[in-house]
A and B are shown apart, each in its own frame.
Chain A
Amino acid sequence: MTAPDGQVAQPAGLSRPRDATPLISVRELTKVYPTAKGERVQALSRISLDIAQGEFVSLVGPSGCGKTTVLRILAGLIADYTGDVSVSGKALHGPSREVGVVFQDANLMPWRTALANVLLPAEVLGLNRKQAKLRAQELLTMVGLEGFERKLPGELSGGMRQRVAIARALIHDPAVLLLDEPFGALDAMTRDTMNVELAAIAARSKKTVFLITHSIAEAVFLSDRVLVMSSRPGRIVEVIPVELPRPRGLDIIADPGFAATVLRIRRLLDSVTASALPSIAH
């Protein structure tokens, strides 16, 4: 593994919020899907973005705008795109050890215990078994699942399963944590709790986090910056910095700055999806 803050020279003149070297760098990313009728649908159009080391960035946009495509490209799950994508200064071609992914569904293996699920990436990557096991224990404790190591996914609640998935994504100590609407399938109360937990986990693990969500409030609550996407073709229309102090509690919802930022993004999304039905994202 390379150091998370790679020393590879980056093109000058790009705005970067914190660090001189962005951990994730995307330039002119374009993705075209062929349809069944032989037409070509442009999913992403010339997307460029930088994410600095330790930064928490969210990508919000209407359904079908290509958010998930961006994440799947960063996760190495989609290989045929045009443009440049690099992580830690290295061009990304396929899956990278520098990346840990949490999907919308926990996607745990139901025949493995919580601990064995967290250890799965270590097995795939051939990491030291003993060290990985210690680390898996620590991670399960960090996500609040101490004592649940031997439980099967079927014995855990949806929120707990997603916590296991987060621990699994961190087991190989990736530089970046990618989250694709990780709490979309959870009820609203669990979701709030999980967001507070996620903020704490991100702070504790000092990971760079890239979150895909359709919830503006979630994005503002968690992020340092929110990227707003429009659909057809998917492109980034604006980058909104979130100037709220950390650590943030759920009472931040009452903060006028929070409300103003949410409203600003809401209006942006409404303007780019004016023709579409109004969505009720919270």
Chain B
Amino acid sequence: MARWFAALWPPLAFGALVLGGWEAGARWGGLDPMMLPAPSEIADQFRLGFSSGIYPQHLGVTLLQAMLGFVIAIFAGVGVGALISASPLVERTLNPFLIAFEAMPKIAMAPLVIVWFGYGIWSKVVLAAAIAFFPVLVSTILGLRACEPGRLDVLHSLGASRAQLFRLVRLPSALPFIFSGINVAVVFVLLGAIVGEFVGAKAGLGTLILAANENLETARVFSILGLLAGVGMLLHFGVTALRQRLLFWAGPQAGPPTA
């Protein structure tokens, strides 16, 4: 209990100080509510959004898009990564295109993706997956390459097939690397979904932000940003928990995602 408190009081105190100062500035310091509304106002909007059922509904859409994109990005990233590391020819063939695709800001594809996949969820799923694909791909390739040759020798001396090598040694050896990519991907899919919603969507937290912004409901915008921060953190913790379950044998990973 005491240790808990020791770890938590500095960020809690800092947060309380900032919020307190902010609230005071809004009430008595003449802060423009259009620029920086009071935290109490933001909290009111937050409550209203949930009690009216609007936030949960749109959050569900955004989360669904992000999660579908996440799953697609993981499967595509690990799959293509495995293919590339399995065949030098595939690697040489795809490498320039992958580098070009990676160098391009994927967000710039958003209008085109909307044209292709419409205003429904799938355009956002595709955008989220496209953005999150690369961190998974790169970490998979690095992880598969970093496999200790000694572990492979053990399997080679038994005449193991390529499939056995992959399943029994290469993939599990690469998992710590792949998870660092997944940690980045989980943040990226949220980004992809929101940006996709900005460009064109029927529902989702991104559309709510746009609407609130146009109506100059700044407190509402802030409340949605807060919600997104919370969701992002939950997703990150979810990935961390999954990592600990799957990678009980590897050391704990320190620090925040490198997004």
B108-154 at interface with A (beta carbon < 8 Å): 148, 150-151, 153-154
State whether A124 touches B155 (Cβ < 8 A).
yes
State whether B158 touches A125 (Cβ < 8 A).
yes
State whether A77 touches B249 (Cβ < 8 A).
no
State whether B159 touches A94 (Cβ < 8 A).
yes
A67-116 at interface with B (beta carbon < 8 Å): 75-77, 94-97, 99, 101, 103, 105, 107, 109-111
On chain B, the residues within 8 Å of A4 by CB distance are: none
On chain B, the residues within 8 Å of A103 by CB distance are: 150, 153-154
State whether B154 touches A120 (Cβ < 8 A).
yes
From B153, B164, B172, A107 is in contact (CB under 8 Å) with: B153
On chain A, the residues within 8 Å of B160 by CB distance are: 124
Tally the A-B contacts, defined by beta carbons under 8 Å.
Answer: 60
A28 within 8 A of B: no
From B150, B158, B250, A110 is in contact (CB under 8 Å) with: B250
On chain A, the residues within 8 Å of B151 by CB distance are: 107, 109
Interface digits, B150-175 against A, CB 8 Å rule (1 contact, 0 not)? 11011111111000100011001001
On chain B, the residues within 8 Å of A107 by CB distance are: 148, 150-151, 153-154
On chain B, the residues within 8 Å of A94 by CB distance are: 159
On chain A, the residues within 8 Å of B175 by CB distance are: 111
On chain A, the residues within 8 Å of B156 by CB distance are: 76-77, 95
> What is the CB-to-nearest-CB distance from B179 to chain A, in angstroms, rounded to a whole number?
13
Count A interface residues, CB 8 Å. Answer: 25
Q: Please indicate which of the listed interface residues A111, A123, A153, A168 has the most CB atoms of chain B within 10 Å of its own CB.
A: A111
The distance in angstroms between the C-alpha atoms of A76 and B155, with both chains bound, is 11
The distance in angstroms between the C-alpha atoms of A75 and B155, with both chains bound, is 11
State whether B159 touches A77 (Cβ < 8 A).
no
Interface digits, A165-192 against B, CB 8 Å rule (1 contact, 0 not)? 0001000100000000000000000000
A112-150 at interface with B (beta carbon < 8 Å): 120-121, 123-125
The distance in angstroms between the C-alpha atoms of A18 and B155, with both chains bound, is 33
On chain B, the residues within 8 Å of A154 by CB distance are: 249
On chain B, the residues within 8 Å of A198 by CB distance are: none
From B159, B164, B249, A76 is in contact (CB under 8 Å) with: B159
A152 within 8 A of B: yes
Q: Which chain A residue has the least Cβ–Cβ distance from B160? A: A124
> What is the CB-to-nearest-CB distance from A100 to chain B, in angstroms, rounded to a whole number?
8
From A124, A152, A153, B158 is in contact (CB under 8 Å) with: A124
State whether A76 touches B148 (Cβ < 8 A).
no
> What is the CB-to-nearest-CB distance from A209 to chain B, in angstroms, rounded to a whole number?
16
The distance in angstroms between the C-alpha atoms of A123 and B158, with both chains bound, is 10
> What is the CB-to-nearest-CB distance from A188 to chain B, in angstroms, rounded to a whole number?
23
Q: Which chain A residue has the least Cβ–Cβ distance from B175? A: A111
Q: Which chain B residue has the least Cβ–Cβ distance from A105? A: B150
Q: Which chain B residue has the least Cβ–Cβ distance from A165? A: B154
Q: Which chain A residue has the least Cβ–Cβ distance from B172? A: A111
The distance in angstroms between the C-alpha atoms of A76 and B250, with both chains bound, is 31
Q: Which residues of B contact A (CB under 8 A)?
A: 148, 150-151, 153-160, 164, 168-169, 172, 175, 247-250
A-B residue pairs in contact (CB < 8 Å), sample of 21: A76-B156, A77-B156, A77-B157, A95-B156, A96-B159, A97-B158, A101-B157, A103-B150, A103-B153, A105-B150, A107-B154, A110-B249, A110-B250, A111-B250, A120-B154, A121-B158, A124-B159, A124-B164, A125-B158, A153-B249, A154-B249
